[in-house]
């Protein structure tokens, strides 16, 4: 057991180091001279040499990599040129917005996706199975940014039933204290129900559209896990014993797939970060994804590398979490 | 071959007389099973139609994709402009037709770059095992620990925007799943007798991998890349949407969508048609990929 844990830890450490090497390499591939982008074309040679030295570009590559790793481990990502703040501070500010959006989305994905997948498996070949298949296929095939635009055209521009881009209407901004950074929670803590309602109107559309993709993924896998269980003999035995169909499905079959589902949901949550980049751009949602794309368009490598690195770390972390949950929840792994 | 034996008989003969006949038979029976699924055929049909549209683009849209007329800006769909015009007065239908070229160009190039890399890395890792396997698969894990779009964004940031760099970036994110698959396939066949026989004959590792292992992995790699093609197209469209892919005035569906963004309330048609085009294309690849998987890998269901 101890050896297994050590092996696992070693492999994670190696992956993390590789992640750092990859981002370091990305930063060095840049065709633009980073010194020139700081001091401009007009600066004289002395200034150039000084900044060159300050950036550590005169040191051997391996030393530069060591310094890079040291900075990253201290969460020192440097300054973001396009905001003028430290990247770490910026990220702390934008991340709650993304977490709020992604959590809203994953709730939709689970609440709709799991029952849909269960129904599709239980009534295999029926109308509901076909509906689930079509819904899933469309979820896999739709560009989320397009769904976002269509949603805005229909529900915001034409019908006016949801809030527009952003997290709040302008008049509500900064009305609640940022306790958690999650507006839906903060507004309830402060008892500002009007702000809550406004934030709700703003998150419903992007959250649902983002959640649609995870729903497709979760329902498809729920269906196939469930079919696997329903084929087993213990299901027939339970039915023969006289247990009701509902009880067999929910207590026996679902009980057995719950562990696998947790893994799937953890991974789906990680993939929401990807969807968030595009969804946030469409909805002007001031989160991590929009920060990344703004940094990209401004050619700000510090911000971009920090974002890429953090997504990688979150990904590894969620994979690890899924693995641990699997071991804790599944009695067979003990 | 005597004239009395029809091609069909040759394809369905119970005993085969040459390796070529055997592989043609396999293809034929695969096609029969593929044909049985209407959704798969639909997917295949859409992709074929797309190829035809891309080739015949100048015939379908004789006006070209960059025919601006500023007095015909933001016109709604009509008889003259089936899908309306954009903010520079260009016909959206024509741009959509030419955009199919960009999409197929990206899809083909990504497949041509990513499949060989994945195949080479996967078979090498699987064949040699040991530390080679460990090192290559570790690299693979690192690439897999990013969602595709984020990694592609990182590479585009480093390489600079543009169609060529977007293709490289997407290809760099597309090879790891293929490598993992090729490795798994290699592990199942590397201990096979025929491999041992070739090795005893004195074939080099390079020859064994390229001539005797890679061909065996090819069918599943093709299925995999078809299935992944939908995701690749969506990622590429996403890059275009963010302004990091094909640069104006090139017609690219993702970039066309992003112009639609600034005219949401006034001109809904700008964003509608390119999105439908992306959706239909990626749906077609998903349908075809599902069908191919059922034919070539009966274990899946």
Contact B145 A319 (CB under 8 A): yes
Average pLDDT rounded to a whole number, residues B201-205: 91
Task: Please report the pLDDT score of residue B105 as a whole number.
Answer: 93
CA-based diameter of chain B, in Å? Answer: 76
A115 and A36 assigned to the same domain: no
The residue among A213, A215, A191, A211 whose CA lies nearest residue A203 is A211
Contact B225, B114 (CB under 8 A): yes
Chain B CB within 8 Å of residue A20 CB: no
Q: Chain centroid to CA B191: how far?
A: 32
Nearest CB neighbour to A143, from listed B141, B234, B264: B234
Contact B117, B179 (CB under 8 A): yes
∠ CA B19-B25-B26, rounded to 5°: 95
CA A172, A175, A179, A183: dihedral to nearest 10 degrees?
Answer: -10
Contact B154 A301 (CB under 8 A): no
- Total number of domains constituting chain A: 2
A181 and A34 assigned to the same domain: no
| Phi then psi dihedrals of residue A58, to 5 deg | -85, -5
Residue A93 CB partners (closer than 8 Å, separation 6+): A181
Q: Quick check: B37 pLDDT over 90?
A: no
Q: Is A317 among the domain residues?
A: no
Alpha-carbon span B211 to A268, nearest angstrom:
39
Task: Please report the pLDDT score of residue B300 as a whole number.
Answer: 44
The residue among B159, B131, B147, B182 whose CA lies nearest residue A14 is B131
Classify residue A190 by its DSSP letter.
T
Q: Is A128 among the domain residues?
A: yes
Which residue range forms the structural domain that includes residue A33?
2-73
pLDDT tens across B45-63, in order? 999 999 999 998 888 877 7
A60 and A198 assigned to the same domain: no
CB contact burial A193-208 (16+ within 10 A = b; e otherwise) = eebbebbbbbbbbbbb
ipTM greater than cut 0.85:
no
pLDDT tens across B67-83, in order? 777 777 777 787 777 77
Q: Chain centroid to CA B201: how far?
A: 38
Q: Is A115 among the domain residues?
A: yes
Chain B CB within 8 Å of residue A277 CB: yes
Task: Please report the pLDDT score of residue A334 as a whole number.
Answer: 57
The residue among B187, B204, B194 whose CA lies nearest residue B122 is B187
CATH number at residue A199: 1.10.3720.10
Chain B CB within 8 Å of residue A146 CB: yes
Output the CA torsion sign for B140, B143, B145, B148.
negative
Q: What is the pTM of this model?
A: 0.86
A39 and A171 assigned to the same domain: no
Alpha-carbon span B216 to B209, nearest angstrom:
10
Mutation target for A interface from B43, B147, B160, B161: give the one with most A CBs within 10 A: B147
CA A276 to chain B, closest CA, distance in angstroms equals: 10
A26 and A157 assigned to the same domain: no
The residue among A105, A106, A110, A103 whose CA lies nearest residue A180 is A103
Q: Quick check: B3 pLDDT over 70?
A: no
Q: Is A213 among the domain residues?
A: yes
A255 and A180 assigned to the same domain: yes
Q: Quick check: B102 pLDDT over 70?
A: yes
A69 and A100 assigned to the same domain: no
A158 and A234 assigned to the same domain: yes
Mutation target for A interface from B131, B137, B151, B154: give the one with most A CBs within 10 A: B154
**What's the Rg (C-alpha) of chain B?**
23
A134 and A235 assigned to the same domain: yes
CB contact burial B20-49 (16+ within 10 A = b; e otherwise) = eeeeebeeeeeeeebeebeebeebbebbee
DSSP B6-18: -HHHHHH-SS-SS
Task: Please report the pLDDT score of residue B297 as a whole number.
Answer: 61
Class of the CATH domain delimited by B24-63+78-296: mainly alpha
Instruction: Measure Cα distances from A278 to A94, A210, A290, B149, B260 in Å.
Output: 15, 9, 8, 9, 15
Task: Please report the pLDDT score of residue B301 as a whole number.
Answer: 41
Classify residue A290 by its DSSP letter.
H
Instruction: Measure Cα distances from B60 to A37, A132, B54 in Å.
Output: 46, 37, 9
Tens digit of pLDDT per residue, chain A (334 long)? 678 778 878 888 888 888 888 888 887 776 666 677 667 777 778 887 877 777 777 777 788 888 888 888 777 787 877 788 888 888 888 889 999 999 999 999 999 999 999 999 999 888 998 889 888 889 889 998 899 989 988 898 888 888 888 888 877 777 777 778 788 888 888 878 888 888 898 999 999 999 999 999 999 999 999 988 888 888 888 888 888 888 888 888 888 888 889 888 988 888 888 888 889 988 989 998 889 888 888 878 888 888 888 888 888 888 888 888 877 777 766 5
Q: Is A270 among the domain residues?
A: yes
The residue among A259, A279, A168 whose CA lies nearest residue A213 is A279
């Amino acid at each position: 057991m101890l050896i297994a844990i050590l092996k696992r830890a070693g492999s994670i450490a190696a992956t993390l180091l590789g992640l750092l090497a990859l981002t370091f390499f990305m930063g060095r591939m840049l065709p633009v001279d980073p010194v020139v982008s700081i001091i401009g074309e007009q600066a004289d040679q002395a200034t150039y040499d000084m900044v060159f030295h300050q950036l550590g570009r005169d040191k051997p590559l391996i030393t530069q990599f060591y310094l890079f790793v040291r900075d990253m481990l201290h969460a020192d990502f440097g300054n973001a040129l396009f905001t003028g703040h430290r990247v770490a501070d910026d990220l702390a500010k934008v991340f709650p917005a993304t977490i709020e959006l992604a959590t809203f989305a994953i709730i939709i994905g689970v609440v709709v996706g799991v029952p849909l997948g269960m129904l599709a498996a239980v009534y295999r070949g029926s109308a509901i199975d076909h509906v689930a298949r079509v819904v899933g296929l469309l979820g896999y095939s739709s560009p989320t940014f397009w769904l976002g635009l269509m949603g805005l055209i229909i529900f915001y521009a034409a019908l006016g039933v949801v809030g527009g881009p952003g997290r709040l209407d302008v008049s509500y901004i900064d009305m609640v204290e940022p306790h958690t950074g999650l507006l839906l929670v903060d507004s309830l803590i402060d008892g500002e129900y009007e702000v809550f309602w406004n934030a709700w109107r703003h998150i419903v559309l992007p959250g649902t559209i983002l959640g649609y993709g995870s729903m497709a993924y979760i329902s498809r896998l729920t269906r196939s896990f469930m079919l696997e269980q329903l084929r087993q003999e213990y299901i027939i035995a339970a039915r023969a014993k006289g247990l009701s169909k509902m009880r067999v499905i929910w207590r026996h079959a679902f009980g057995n797939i719950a562990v696998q589902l947790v893994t799937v949901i953890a991974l789906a949550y990680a993939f929401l970060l990807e969807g968030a980049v595009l969804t946030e751009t469409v909805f002007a949602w001031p989160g991590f994804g929009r920060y990344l794309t703004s940094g990209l368009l401004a050619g700000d490598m510090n911000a971009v590398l920090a974002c890429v690195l953090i997504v990688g770390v979150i990904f590894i972390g969620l994979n690890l979490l899924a693995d641990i949950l699997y071991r804790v929840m599944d009695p067979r792994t003990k | 071959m005597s004239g009395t034996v029809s091609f069909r008989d040759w394809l369905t003969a119970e005993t085969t007389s040459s390796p070529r006949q055997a592989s043609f038979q396999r293809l034929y029976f695969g096609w029969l099973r593929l044909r049985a699924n209407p959704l798969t055929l639909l997917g295949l049909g859409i992709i074929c139609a797309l190829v035809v549209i891309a080739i015949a683009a100048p015939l379908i849209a004789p006006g070209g994709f960059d025919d601006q007329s500023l007095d015909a800006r933001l016109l709604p769909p009509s008889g003259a402009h089936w899908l309306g015009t954009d903010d520079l007065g260009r016909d959206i239908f024509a741009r959509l037709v030419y955009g199919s070229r960009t999409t197929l160009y990206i899809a083909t190039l990504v497949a041509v770059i990513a499949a060989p890399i994945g195949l080479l890395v996967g078979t090498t890792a699987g064949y040699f095992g040991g530390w080679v396997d460990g090192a290559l698969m570790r690299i693979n894990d690192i690439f897999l620990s990013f969602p595709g779009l984020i990694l592609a964004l990182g590479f585009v940031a480093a390489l600079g925007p543009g169609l060529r760099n977007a293709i490289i970036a997407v290809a760099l994110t597309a090879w790891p799943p293929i490598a993992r698959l090729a490795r798994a396939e290699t592990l199942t066949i590397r201990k096979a007798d025929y491999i041992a026989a070739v090795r005893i004959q004195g074939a080099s590792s390079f020859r064994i991998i390229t001539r005797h292992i890679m061909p065996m992995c090819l069918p599943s790699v093709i299925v995999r890349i078809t299935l992944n093609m939908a995701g690749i197209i969506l990622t590429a469209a996403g890059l275009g949407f963010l302004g990091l892919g094909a640069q104006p005035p090139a017609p690219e569906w993702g970039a066309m969508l992003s112009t639609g963004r600034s005219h949401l309330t006034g001109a809904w048609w700008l964003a509608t048609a390119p999105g439908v085009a992306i959706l239909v294309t990626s749906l077609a690849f998903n349908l075809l990929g599902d069908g191919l998987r059922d034919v070539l890998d009966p274990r899946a269901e």
